């Protein structure tokens, strides 16, 4: 297998010195690391130290003739499998949220087509400031993965959230995102069940095959027009990412969306409900299926091969026919997953409709969400998990946070058999 490559962007926080330790740990895990430092970062750590640790040149200047000629900012942004910002200052988070690209680091972040993990570290007041929280919400909505900071005593003498997580925990998170086996013994010499920060080794879905569907479907009316819905795919992608981060072997069947494939996830792109059903069939057997996609209930009964022409005052009738019910067909399939989860996007009588759907579809859980606001395409979601035993309601959270919680619940359920 090819060596996985990380582009590490170090910014100017007091915790920048820990990035050297992070590089050491990542290299011990067999990963390759190339570093970019902001001008402020070089006030905390010398490029020489970083260069010794990465065994490579350190990049920092956009208009450096040698750097730009040898590799160039676009190539730097594309050659990695994962871009990690550690530590991430409040400043770089703000610039990223606004799409500013006024130095090498921010230009790479705007130009990259690879997944990005930001590991923020800052004073607790900077962390809690509404501007920082607003920027974090924007970045999450843009698909940036944010590792929550630790809580505790800070270098500045204050106490609260904002501390950089310990490097072994960051290394573990990076390995999980890359689908790279993390060996705790290599980072700490301690038992492989915990890393030194006390964070449990979070791969409870290891060995489990999980199918996730996401996004809308597009149903042709003619070659240029189609029926669609407002699903952005973000919640399904976040669930697939969380499943992979917890160690699952994930197949993501995605309708037409413009989202980056989460690391370690096998993605199959489809357009229509019929395509999605065929792709689901092909992906079986799996241990759990999480059917998040907003599959169109209907498609045009006839979709002519040529564009329907505007014809005087004659308005064509749109005759609809029902699409296959993918969730219900999985419930009675010979390869029915051990855990089958449907999603119900509702605009009214959320629980009532979800309970009816649970009974009708024959699945194990329905995750109901209220889509009457800006949930479709938004950054947050609230879940009601409806099962035959009752309803578990979770408050509104960022889509990646609630996805992680859902996948932890799935891991528990699969472990119980
Ligand atoms: C001693 C010192 C420590 C700092 N620590 C942090 C920090 O931990 N987090 C942070 O967001 N900013 C911190 N700053 C402020 C940043 O260095 C400043 O916002 C800078 O513009 C960040 O630039 P960069 O994001 O381009 O690296 C610190 C500044 C100083 C002088």
Q: Are 376 and 231 within one domain?
A: yes
pLDDT of residue 323: 97
Give 14 Cα–ligand 1 centroid separation in angstroms. Answer: 7
Residues 68 and 106 in one domain: yes
Residue at 79 is within a domain: yes
How, if at all, do strands 320-322 and 298-300 pair?
Answer: antiparallel
The finding on whether 12 has its CB within 6 A of some atom of ligand 1 is yes
Distance from the CA of 12 to the center of ligand 1, in angstroms?
5
User: 285: domain range?
Assistant: 209-416
Same domain, residue pair 271 and 403: yes
The atom number, within ligand 1, closest to the CA of 40 reads 27
Question: Exactly one of 86, 156, 175, 363 is catalytic; which is it?
Answer: 156
Q: Is residue 13 part of a domain?
A: yes
* In a domain? residue 336: yes
Q: Are residues 268 and 166 in the same domain?
A: no
| Ligand 1 atom 3: residue of nearest CA | 14
Are 91 and 128 within one domain?
yes
Residue 350: CATH number of its domain: 3.40.50.10300
Per-residue pLDDT of the chain (417 residues; tens, 9 = 90+): 468 999 999 999 999 999 999 999 999 999 999 999 999 999 999 999 999 999 999 999 888 767 676 677 788 888 899 999 999 999 999 999 999 999 999 999 999 999 999 999 999 999 999 999 999 999 998 889 999 888 876 676 677 789 999 899 899 889 988 888 777 666 654 333 333 333 344 578 988 999 999 999 999 999 999 999 999 999 999 999 889 888 899 999 999 998 878 877 899 999 999 999 999 999 999 999 999 999 999 999 999 999 998 888 888 899 999 999 999 999 999 999 999 999 998 888 888 899 999 999 999 999 998 877 666 666 778 899 999 999 999 988 888 888 989 999 999 999 987
**Structural Rg of the chain based on CA atoms:** 23
Please check whether residue 288 lies inside any domain of the structure.
yes
Q: Is 92 a pocket residue for ligand 1 (Cβ < 6 Å)?
A: yes
Is any ligand 1 atom within 6 A of the Cβ of residue 121? yes
165 close to ligand 1 (CB < 6 Angstrom)? no
Q: What is the Å distance from ligand 1's center to 8 Cα? A: 17
Any atom of ligand 1 within 6 Å of the Cβ of 96:
no
Residues 132 and 270 in one domain: no
Q: Based on the structure, what is the number of domains in the chain?
A: 2
Active site residue 363: no
Residue 90 CB–ligand 1 contact under 6 Å: yes
Q: Select from 159, 188, 217 the last residue of a domain.
A: 188
> How would you label 7-43 residue by residue, b for 16+ Cβ within 10 Å and e otherwise?
bbbbbbbbbbebbbbbbebbbebebbbbbbbbebbbe
* pLDDT, position 189: 41
- 203 occurs within a structural domain: no
Placement of tokens 């998990």 in the chain: 385
Is 278 part of a structural domain of the chain?
Answer: yes
Q: Which ligand 1 atom sits nearest the alpha carbon of residue 93?
A: 25
CB of 11 closer than 6 angstroms to any ligand 1 atom: yes
Residue owning tokens 């921010």? 106
Q: What is the pLDDT of residue 312?
A: 80
Residue ending a domain, among 188, 220, 253, is 188
Q: What φ, ψ does residue 252 adopt, rounded to 5°?
A: -115, 120
Q: Is the CB of 91 under 6 A from ligand 1?
A: yes
What one-character-per-residue DSSP string does 20-51 give? HHHHHHHHHTT-EEEEEE-TTGGGTS-HHHHH
* Residue 215 sits in the same domain as residue 343: yes
Q: Which of the listed residues 91, 95, 124 should we mutate to test ligand 1's pocket, taking the one with most ligand atoms within 8 A of CB?
A: 91
Report the pLDDT value the prediction gives residue 282, as an integer from 0 to 100.
Answer: 96
- Ligand 1 atom with the smallest distance to the CA of 90 is 11
What is the whole-number distance in angstroms between the Cα of residue 6 and the centre of ligand 1? 23
Question: Which residue has 């995750």 as its token pair?
Answer: 367
CA of 205 to the centre of ligand 1 (A): 38
Ligand 1 pocket residue status of 85, Cβ below 6 Å: no
Q: Which of 125, 16, 26, 119 is nearest to 60 (CA)?
A: 16
SS3 of 242, please? helix
| CB-CB neighbours of 343 under 10 Å | 25
* Distance of CA 229 from the midpoint of ligand 1 (Å): 43
Pocket test for ligand 1, best of 19, 37, 40, 85 (most atoms within 8 A of CB): 40
Q: Quick check: 356 and 368 in contact, CB under 8 A?
A: no
Does the Cβ of 277 fall within 6 Å of ligand 1?
Answer: no
């Amino acid at each position: 297998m090819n060596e996985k490559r990380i582009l590490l962007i170090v910014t100017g926080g007091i915790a920048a010195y820990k990035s050297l330790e992070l590089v050491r740990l990542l290299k011990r895990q067999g990963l390759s690391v190339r570093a970019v430092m902001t001008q402020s970062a070089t006030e905390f750590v010398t490029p020489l130290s970083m260069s010794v640790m990465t065994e490579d040149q350190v990049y920092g200047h956009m208009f450096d003739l040698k750097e730009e000629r040898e590799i160039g900012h676009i190539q730097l942004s594309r050659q990695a499998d994962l871009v990690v910002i550690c530590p991430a200052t409040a400043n770089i988070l703000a610039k990223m949220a606004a799409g500013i690209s006024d130095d090498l680091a921010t230009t790479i972040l705007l130009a990259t087509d690879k997944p990005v993990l930001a590991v923020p570290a800052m004073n607790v007041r900077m962390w809690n400031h509404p501007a920082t929280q607003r920027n974090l919400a924007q970045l999450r909505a843009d698909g940036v993965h944010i590792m929550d900071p630790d809580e505790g005593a800070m270098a500045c003498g204050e106490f609260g959230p904002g501390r950089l997580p310990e490097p072994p925990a960051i290394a573990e998170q990076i390995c999980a995102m890359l689908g790279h086996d993390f060996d705790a013994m290599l980072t700490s010499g301690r038992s492989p069940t915990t890393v030194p920060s006390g964070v449990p080794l979070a791969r409870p879905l290891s060995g489990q095959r999980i199918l996730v569907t996401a996004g809308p479907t597009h149903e042709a009316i003619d070659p240029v027009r189609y029926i669609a819905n407002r699903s952005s795919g973000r919640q399904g992608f976040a669930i697939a990412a969380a499943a992979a981060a917890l160690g699952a072997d994930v197949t993501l069947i995605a309708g037409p969306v413009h989202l980056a494939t989460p690391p370690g996830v096998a993605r199959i792109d489809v357009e229509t409900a019929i395509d999605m059903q065929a792709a689901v069939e092909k992906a079986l057997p799996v241990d759990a299926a999480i059917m998040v996609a907003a599959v169109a209930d209907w498609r045009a009964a006839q979709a002519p091969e040529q564009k329907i022409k505007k014809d005087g005052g004659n308005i064509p009738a749109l005759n609809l026919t029902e699409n296959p019910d993918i969730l219900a067909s999985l419930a009675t399939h010979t390869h029915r997953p051990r855990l089958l989860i449907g999603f119900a996007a509702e605009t009214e009588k959320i629980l009532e409709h979800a309970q009816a759907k649970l009974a009708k579809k024959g699945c194990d859980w329905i995750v109901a969400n209220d889509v009457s606001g800006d949930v479709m395409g938004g950054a947050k979601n609230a879940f009601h998990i409806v099962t035959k035993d009752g309803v578990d309601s979770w408050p509104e959270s960022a889509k990646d946070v609630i996805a992680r919680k859902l996948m932890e619940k799935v891991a528990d359920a699969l472990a119980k058999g």
